Structure 1
Amino acid sequence: MSKLKILQLTDLHILPHAGDTMLGIDTERHFQQTLKHAHATHDHFDLILLTGDLGQNPCADSYRRICQHLHTYHTPCICLPGNHDDRELMEAELNDDLVSCRKHLKLSTWQIIALNSQKIGSPAGILSQEELAFLKRSLIEHDLPALLAVHHHCVASQSSWMDTMQIENGNELLAIAERFPQVKAITFGHLHQELQTSHKGIPVFATPASCFQFKPYATEFELDTLPPGYRVFELFDSGRLQSSCYRLPINMSNLQTESHSY
């Protein structure tokens, strides 16, 4: 049975200048390592999906460097904004035939729908009524199995400090997904940790960050020592999907685990 293979990377937190570090980590180097490991391990992908927080204190050059790294792999890429991103700058700089901020893509027998959950001036997320209308319209107009991608999480993670930063109207997203049986999964970033759960039979995923991770089930900011990771989706013509996360085989000895914020 033929299948599509999608690489999800998230929470890059690329800094303004190459070689800059945050919490002891060179986030850009880890992004490059993650891309390299994914392709060395899984070969070709049909799509790369970047689910937000591409930049930390974003500037035009940080997005340009991200674009250069992605172009190395000659693979279509969809980028969507997180709470740390400058959406307008992203859309200006990530805007070519290969790497873009497009919101809807038909890929063989599937559709990929990218949603903007950015709430300006807040680490939390929200989906505007225009964004929810776009989602409904896409599902009405295209009766194909759908993978929904967004930055913020729409279900509780059991990390209480992170759950103050969910999509505030995530119930509206879930209600739409329930109405359309072609919605096969929802995936997001933001949590800096792996999560696999479901909502009324719809698989729901979070993907590890390509930089540093947060400790699961934490009540306040706490770093984990797990290495960067990524998620791979396999989408089958039948509408079935399967997904797994993978980690870089590196030691996070430089991570400043005593930090209380970033």
Structure 2
Amino acid sequence: MPALKILQLTDPHILPHAGDKMLGIDTEQYFQNTLAHAHVTHGRFDLILLTGDLGQDPCADSYRRICRHLQTYRTPCLCLPGNHDDWELMKTELNAGFVSCRKHLLLENWQIIALNSQKPGRPSGFVSQEELAFLQQTLSTNDMPALLAIHHHCVASRSSWMDTMRIENGEELLTIVEHFPQVKAITCGHLHQEMQTSHKQIAIFAAPASCFQFKPLATEFELDTLPPGYRVFELFDNGDLQSRCFRLPISMNELQTNLHSY
């Protein structure tokens, strides 16, 4: 049987009004272009996974526009929050047709578990005791191979300024999943760059953003000139997986690389 194919998009940072720009680029247009490139290049997906920071200064209309763009592809979509998002508003506006904020999805022989690492008012992440209990309960009652999705990273990225904003209790999260061999991988956003590493038997990934990228190994905010990208997962019946990142074939000529924050 062919592998399940999952598209991970992350950190689109959609602005309150269509046509608005941040750091010189139209993040919504880049989000649409990234979605289109993924589908033209790879065909239909079994799931689109959006791993947070969907909105920048989020409002109802920004989430509605995201929802409309996603509905075009008639593919199940799971959306989870990042530090810039309004989670309550997301659950209202990103809950129509193929788009949802569900936390647990069974997809043939795999389970997808979406976790909330949002710490309101803070850029760093934290996984609440309620969220950890949900994770433990879900894994205790279902031994299908599992892909976990979360916004913040739970291991060091080697970008020291970003590592001040990782999951504060990431060790607690990892201690739980270590005890469940069905957990094959954890994937996140937040870093605006690629990452592939591991913790014991668990593969750990991050995807590039669908807007602007952060320079790897940086000690402070620094933009990279790499174009937007996305990650594709192939999930096999035997519990194996493969993953790779792809980028749009464009130059970031509009990006204002001289700015020191966003």
When the two structures are superposed, what TM-score results if normalisation uses the length of structure 1? Answer: 0.99
User: Match of 2:248?
Assistant: 248
Tell me the distance in 2 between the aligned counterparts of 1:207 and 1:259. 23
Alignment of 1:59-78 (within 5 A): 59-78=59-78
- CA-to-aligned-CA distance 1:59-88 (integer Å, 9 cap, x gap): 000000000000000000000000000000
User: Match of 1:155?
Assistant: 155
Q: What is the deviation of 1:96? A: 1.9
Contact 2:71–2:97 (Cα < 8 Å) also in 1: no
User: Match of 1:79?
Assistant: 79
**% identical aligned pairs:** 77
Runs of 4+ in 1 over 3 A off after TM superposition: none
User: Match of 1:235?
Assistant: 235
User: Match of 2:128?
Assistant: 128
Residue type at the aligned position of 2:69: H
Tell me the distance in 2 between the aligned counterparts of 1:18 and 1:97. 22
Q: What is the deviation of 1:176? A: 1.1
Alignment of 1:1-262 (within 5 A): 1-262=1-262
The gaps in structure 2 that reach 5 residues or longer are: none
Give the aligned CA root-mean-square deviation in angstroms: 0.5
Residue type at the aligned position of 1:141: T
Tell me the distance in 1 between the aligned counterparts of 2:121 and 2:32. 29
Tell me the distance in 2 between the aligned counterparts of 1:3 and 1:173. 28
DSSP-derived class of the 1:139 partner: helix
- CA-to-aligned-CA distance 1:13-55 (integer Å, 9 cap, x gap): 0000000000001000000000000000000100000000000
DSSP-derived class of the 2:160 partner: coil
DSSP-derived class of the 2:235 partner: strand
Contact 2:118–2:125 (Cα < 8 Å) also in 1: yes
Q: What is the deviation of 1:237? A: 0.4
Tell me the distance in 2 between the aligned counterparts of 1:95 and 1:208. 25
Q: What is the deviation of 1:105? A: 0.2
DSSP-derived class of the 1:34 partner: helix
Tell me the distance in 2 between the aligned counterparts of 1:187 and 1:172. 17
Q: What is the deviation of 1:3? A: 1.2
Q: What is the deviation of 1:97? A: 3.5
Tell me the distance in 1 between the aligned counterparts of 2:199 and 2:144. 20
Residue type at the aligned position of 1:68: R
Tell me the distance in 2 between the aligned counterparts of 1:15 and 1:164. 25
